[in-house]
Chain A
Amino acid sequence: MSASPSTVQVIEARGLTRSFGDDRAVDRADLAVAAGQIHALVGLNGAGKTTLMKLLLDMLRPSSGSGWLLGDPVDGAGAAVWSRVGHLIETPFGYPELTVTENVVLAARLQGLDRPSARRESLLIVGELALDRWADRRSRVLSLGNRQRLGLACALVHEPQVLILDEPTNGLDPKGVLELRRLLLSRAHGAGVGILVSSHHLDEVARIADRITVMHRGRVVGVLDPDGVDLERRFFDMVYAAEQEGSWTQPSQPRP
């Protein structure tokens, strides 16, 4: 499953910090995702995974530190950067009054595709994510899982070079989880897309990730080997050790 990703970093967090009042939601987080790599971000609820992703997507401004996408700083990034980035954070993209196809076309056009390209790419991704049956239905009638598929379709339609996905398997049935796994693996290892994905499902993460970063209380506390045994046990050991230490040390050098 592990491929040989390039060494070109397409997603970087350099000392990113964000506080909300006294709560330091993300604390000096360093992270790097290479082109063609699937980098998983795991941690307990409230560990700061979503906040870190929002900082990387300029949805929040950091208190300090910087985020970088495709070699450009996130702060002040324009269409040239964002048109190559796809994301699914919190609520999957989809206007309830628009059909599935209209939503995907809209997402494509907002990412810079012209109308004919948006239409063509939308038909392809709707098929790839098994949404054909609902293509002309208003998205308000979709189940939770299919709304998640719609959100994924909107994140992928413009063939981005970077994907940042927060809990992408939320609401997906087992078939959907398999389809998403296949899709992410093909995008990363086949098309060289750099993917940062957060998940609570360690077994799923083990199947697709090239690298796993663990966050706890806003900090990066370690890296796990996805090929090692008993990933769940190692995750909890790392989190428990971080909790016990009290003062948060940076992890040792990540493995190449």
Chain B
Amino acid sequence: MDAAVATEALKLRRSPVARTAWLAVVLGAPALSAGFIAVARAGGDGQLAVKVAAMLPDMGWIGYLGMIGQISTVAMLLAGGIVTAWCFGREFADGTVVGLFAIAVSRRRLAAAKFAVMLGWSLSACGATVLLGVAVGLLLGLGPLGSDALGGVAMDLVAAMLMALLALPLAWVASARRGYLPAVGALLLVVIVTQLVTVVGAGAWFPYAAPGLWVGMGGAESAAAVGPVQLLLAIPVCAAGIWATTAWWARAQLT
């Protein structure tokens, strides 16, 4: 394995932040979704039951997977954003960035390696969430997975990965501001702006809102307004963030 990727992979494997965030996403989305299904099944006139019934289009795979998709899109942005902020920002906060200068591996390559391991982390989190979600769904007795349900599984995976990609540009904030806290602040700002844009009805064209709306966060009508073009806006946003970050690291100074 490339020395830079091996280095970054080891650091991420040992990171309590990365481990905790991974578990929060992978366990949280299926657990919460299963909880909602259980509440809906119990029925009744309680506040929670009424709210859950309104959120779930049905109590089968479609409703359950839709809930997983909605929760995991939010979770992947938050978790992926925090881990990305840590991955890049900790070098400044911990003072370890000095050791990344004047070495045989270029800083551009190191930054690229950080993105490579973050993509691996994100893919494993999204994949594990969906797999565990399916396992929990089978345990809930939702029945065999039909073609509609498999389509729901694929949507959840794609939506979560798109949010993971959208978290990566936070690396530029963590690098340029030399710490993980500014990037966490930027993440909160993104979440707030996404909510505002969605409320005013422009969510389909806002890259950070589109995946969540697509999996049902705003209802069926909002979901229908999101197509491949809107979803794929995540790609150039991610690419711009990666380019800006690697360019920053290539020219960085220890001022």
Using a CB–CB distance below 8 Å, which chain A residues touch chain B? 20, 54, 57-61, 78-79, 82-83, 85, 87, 89-91, 93-98, 102, 106-107, 109-112, 154
Q: Of the candidates B4, B11, B14, B103, which one forms a contact with A82 in the assembled complex, judged by CB atoms under 8 Å apart?
A: B103
Q: B11 touching A95 by the CB < 8 A rule?
A: yes
Tell me the complex Cα distance, A91–B254, Å: 12
Query: Total A-B residue pairs with C-beta atoms closer than 8 Å?
Result: 71
| B33-41, B43-51, B91-99, B230-238 - interface stretch | B91-99
Interface range on chain B: under 10, 10 to 19, 20 to 34, or 35 or more? 20 to 34
Tell me the smallest distance from the CB of A173 to a CB of chain B, in Å.
22
Q: B105 touching A79 by the CB < 8 A rule?
A: yes
Name 18 extra pairs, CB < 8 A, besides A83-B104, A91-B99, A110-B7.
A59-B101, A59-B102, A60-B255, A61-B253, A79-B104, A82-B102, A83-B103, A90-B98, A91-B94, A93-B99, A97-B14, A97-B16, A102-B10, A110-B3, A110-B100, A112-B3, A112-B105, A154-B99
CB-defined contacts of B16 to chain A, threshold 8 Å: 97
> Is B6 interfacial (CB 8 A cutoff)?
yes
Tell me the complex Cα distance, A98–B94, Å: 13
Q: A89 touching B98 by the CB < 8 A rule?
A: yes
Tell me the complex Cα distance, A97–B10, Å: 10
Q: A58 touching B255 by the CB < 8 A rule?
A: no
Closest to A96 in B: B94
9 A-B pairs, CB-CB below 8 angstroms? A59-B253, A90-B95, A91-B94, A91-B95, A95-B96, A97-B11, A97-B14, A98-B14, A110-B104
Using a CB–CB distance below 8 Å, which chain B residues touch chain A? 3-4, 6-7, 10-11, 14-16, 94-96, 98-106, 253-255
Tell me the smallest distance from the CB of A115 to a CB of chain B, in Å.
8
Tell me the smallest distance from the CB of A124 to a CB of chain B, in Å.
19
Closest to A83 in B: B104
Q: A60 touching B96 by the CB < 8 A rule?
A: no
Q: Of the candidates B7, B98, B99, which one forms a contact with A109 in the assembled complex, judged by CB atoms under 8 Å apart?
A: B7
Tell me the complex Cα distance, A83–B105, Å: 9
